[in-house]
Structures are given as C-alpha cells and as structure tokens.
C-alpha cells in the first residue's frame, strides 16, 4: 500500500489548523505508480474549528452545513468564513460514553419540506431505565436557526443499560424511506435475535411507518422495521449511486468490515465472524455458509471505521465511484478503490495529522469534507493541489 505524505512546503500541524490559522497541508503521492497510488494530489484546508466532539454533518441547499456535537449541540457552519451558529430546539440527549447527539441528514426535498433528521442517544426516565438510539424528524427554521415540530420516527428496542455502541447513521433512500444503522449496545448475544433491533439496520418511512416491502414485514418472529441484522456497531453508511445498494461499515473487536447491506441479510455477529466477541464464543467464518453474509472488505487490526461516502464530485475525477471513510482508531482517512462493486485497493491518504476522523462527506463544491471527533474538533476539506 502506498501512502500519501506531506510535502515540506505548506506543512502546518493539526493543532495550528484547529486554532483557525490560514494554513493548509499539501499532499503528494510517493512510491511507484500503481492502482493504489494517490492518483490525485490535494490540499487540506481548515473550514471550522472549536467544535466539541463533533460526530455527523450534512449540507443544506445553500452550501452551509449542519454539524452535530455529541454533548447535545447542533451547529450551522458557513463554509465561506467558518462561522459556527448554534441551532436551538433539540431534545434532551444522553451524553455519556459513545452516546449523545449523533448523525444528521438533510431531506433531499429540504427546499420544499424544510426537514432534517438526526439520531441521538435518548435517556431513560431519570437515566435509570436504560437508554436507546432514536431517530427524530424536525423542521429547520432559518431565522434565527431553530428546530420545530419534533417527531420521533424510530426508537431502538429494547432499552439497554450502558453508554456504548449506539451506531448510528441515517440515509435517505431514493424512495424517501430512511435507513437507520444501529449498534449492538455491547450486547452481542442479542444481535442474532431479529425480535429486537439490537445490531440491526432498520428501514422506516419518514412518518415512522413500516414500508410494506421490508423483508420481515410478514414474519411473526422478526421486527418489521429490520432491513438487515447480525451487525456489531455500524457507524458509516451510504448508497452506491451506480447500483442503488446500501453499503455500511461496522466496528467489531479485533476486526472491522465493509458490507453490501442487502435486504434481509444476516451478517453473522457474533455467531460467525472474523472478529472476536467479548464472550470469546465464536464460530469460524465460512464463506460457503448460506446463512451469513461475507464482508466485502475487512481490517485486522481494527481501525474503528466511521463515516462512509461514495465520491461523486467533480474535483477529483480519478476518485469517481470510490469509497471514503474515517478511521478514528488509525487517525486516518481511507480510500477504497472500487471496480464493478468490488474493493480492488486501499489507500490511507491521511494518517496521524488531523486526529480522529469521525465523518466524511462530499460537498456541493465537489470537495471532500472531514469531521474530527476531538474535544476541540473541526471541519476540513480536501481540494485539488495547484502549482
């Protein structure tokens, strides 16, 4: 694997960028040319700083974007000057461990509906009755920015004690339904039980209803919202624009994986996996086992993949159709080179410079935007290197 490295000119430390200095980093490929070489050179620009453990982001039609901060703050960021404006109207969140305000997604029909969707760790009564991952729908009023009309469209059941492995990403499908990814809440023994939502990807309508064509809608032994199950902690998702298929990345002890998340699929956790569940009880992975779906790509040692996006912008032609994801444990931005629905190469474009990259998005300008999950987190963008 060839890794892009910093040039001496243009070097600026991540700490300096977080202070908002007008600086950047130029990156150039090294080593012999190959399918894995950095076939696009780029410059990293700081966009916004001073965010507290940011987790998810999505763009509004005017080019500004929303960022969630895990302690329970939603911010509106202006890409032109980095101005960060808090958005009022959020519900109470359970902000412990991996819990808090998590993903945010803008309705593709936002210009008409004004809707956004977000996921969060919802507290139980007095925080004693367990917590759950919830998905909410709201309307964004932009003068001044405030959320109105809260409606919970989905709650993971059952509630679970603890503060780990909530998931969770939201993807709006072409038909307007919502995919919501859910972690197994450190309860791996429940992920093979389709009578609950633990370790599942669910698909619901925007009003919380169950689509009639969901795979288990007529199965009395499964929850009708479930699209797929047997997952560990799914923290990245996107739809392949060329096929319309849902892809996800999930974190699991000792190994992480990329999945083509097919309708009704059982992805094995923790019964059959390349990972080692906390109990240590595991069946070896068998590519011929018809009951479990094989990953498309995996990592061992683990990288804790988070955020996932197919690149479809115009600034980097050589990256068209490739997958990009953050890897907080590796402090890396990872590019997966795609060919006909298969991963044919992997490249770590950034490693150790920006900290924990939690989310990745393609902006309306074609730049690749990165969100760093740090106590003084920030947003950066990758643009083509000039000169």
Q: What is the pLDDT of residue 12?
A: 34
pLDDT for the residue 33: 29
Distance CA 339, CA 366 (A): 21
Find where tokens 């987190």 sit.
377
Closest C-alpha to 338, from 238, 268, 266, 265 = 238
> Looking at per-residue confidence, does 39 or 180 come out higher?
180
More confident residue, 107 or 268: 107
pLDDT tens-digit map of 244-275: 999 999 998 777 999 999 999 999 898 766 65
Give the model's confidence band at 143: pLDDT under 50 very low, under 70 low, under 90 confident, else very high.
confident
Q: Which of 4-18, 181-195, 292-306 has the lowest mean pLDDT?
A: 4-18
Distance CA 19, CA 376 (A): 9
CA count, 13 A, side-chain hemisphere, 341: 11
pLDDT digits (tens, 9 = 90+) for 342-351: 999 999 998 8
What residues contact residue 149 under an 8 Å CB cut-off, 6+ apart?
Answer: 137, 138, 139
125-136 tens-digit pLDDT: 765 579 999 999
Six token digits for residue 173: 């499908």
Instruction: Output the pLDDT for position 133.
Output: 97
Q: For all residues of the chain together, what is the average pLDDT?
A: 86
SS3 per residue for the chain: CCCCEECCCCCCCHHHHHCCCCCCEEEECCCCCCCCCCCCCEEEEEEEEEECCEEEEEECCCCCEEEEECCCEEEEECCCCCCEEEEECCCCCCCCCCCCEEEEEECCCHHHHCEEEEEEEECCHHHCCCEEEEEEEEEEEECCEEEEEEEEEEECCCCECCCCCCEEEEEECCCCCEEEEECCCCCHHHCCCCCCCCCEEEEECCCCCCCCCCCCCCCCCCCCCEEEECCCEEEEEEECCCCCCEEEEEEECCEEEEEECCCCCECCCCCECCCCCCCCCCECCCCCCCCCCCCCEEECCCCCCEEEEECCCCCCHHHCCCEEEEECCCCEEEEEEEECCEEEEEEEEEECCCCCEEEEEECCCCCEEEEECCCCEEEEEEEECCC
Other beta carbons within 10 angstroms of residue 264's beta carbon come to 15
Look at 47-51, 237-241, 291-295 and tell me which has the smallest mean pLDDT: 291-295
Nearest to 230 by CA among 202, 279, 191, 201: 191
pLDDT band at 172 (very low <50, low <70, confident <90, very high): very high
**Is the pLDDT assigned to residue 54 strictly greater than 80?**
yes
Is residue 246 a contact partner of residue 201, using CB atoms and an 8 Å limit?
yes
Please tell me the number of Cα atoms within 13 Å of 250 on its side-chain side: 35
| pLDDT reading at 170 higher than 60 | yes
Going from the N-terminus, what domains does the chain have, and what CATH number goes with each? 5-384 (2.120.10.30)
pLDDT number for residue 197: 98
């Amino acid at each position: 694997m060839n890794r892009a490295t910093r040039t001496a000119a243009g070097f600026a430390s991540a700490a300096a960028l977080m202070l908002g200095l007008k600086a950047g980093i130029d990156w150039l490929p090294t080593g012999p040319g190959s399918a894995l070489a950095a076939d696009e050179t780029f410059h990293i620009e700081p966009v916004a700083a001073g965010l507290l453990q940011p987790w998810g982001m999505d763009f509004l039609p005017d080019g500004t974007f929303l960022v969630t901060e895990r302690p329970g703050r939603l911010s509106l960021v202006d890409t032109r000057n980095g101005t960060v404006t808090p958005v009022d109207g959020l519900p109470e969140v359970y902000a412990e461990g991996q819990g808090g305000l998590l993903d945010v997604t803008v309705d593709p029909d936002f210009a008409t509906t004004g809707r956004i969707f977000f996921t969060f760790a919802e507290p139980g009564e007095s925080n004693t009755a367990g917590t759950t991952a919830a998905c909410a729908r709201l309307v964004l009023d932009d003068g001044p920015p405030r959320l109105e009309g809260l409606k919970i469209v989905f709650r993971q059941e059952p509630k679970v004690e603890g503060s780990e492995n909530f998931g969770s990403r939201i993807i709006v499908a072409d038909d307007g339904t919502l995919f919501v990814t859910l972690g197994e809440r450190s309860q791996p023994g429940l992920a093979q039980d389709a009578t609950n939502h633990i370790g599942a990807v669910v698909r619901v309508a925007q009003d919380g209803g169950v689509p009639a064509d969901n795979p288990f809608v007529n199965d009395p032994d499964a929850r009708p919202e479930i699209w797929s199950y047997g997952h560990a902690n799914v923290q990245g998702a996107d739809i392949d624009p060329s096929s319309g298929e849902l892809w996800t990345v999930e974190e699991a002890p000792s190994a992480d994986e990329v999945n083509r998340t097919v309708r009704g699929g059982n992805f094995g956790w923790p019964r059959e996996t390349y990972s080692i569940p906390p109990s240590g009880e595991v069946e070896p992975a068998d590519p011929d086992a018809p009951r479990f779906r094989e990953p498309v790509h995996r990592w061992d040692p683990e990288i804790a993949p988070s955020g996932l996006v197919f690149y479809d912008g115009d600034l980097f032609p050589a990256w068209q159709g490739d997958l990009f994801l953050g890897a907080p444990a590796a402090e890396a931005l990872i590019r997966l080179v795609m060919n006909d629905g298969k991963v044919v190469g992997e490249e770590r474009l950034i490693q150790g410079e920006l900290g924990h990259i939690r989310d990745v998005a393609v902006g309306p300008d074609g730049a690749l935007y990165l969100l760093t999950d740090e106590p003084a987190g920030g947003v950066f963008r990758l643009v083509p290197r000039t000169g």
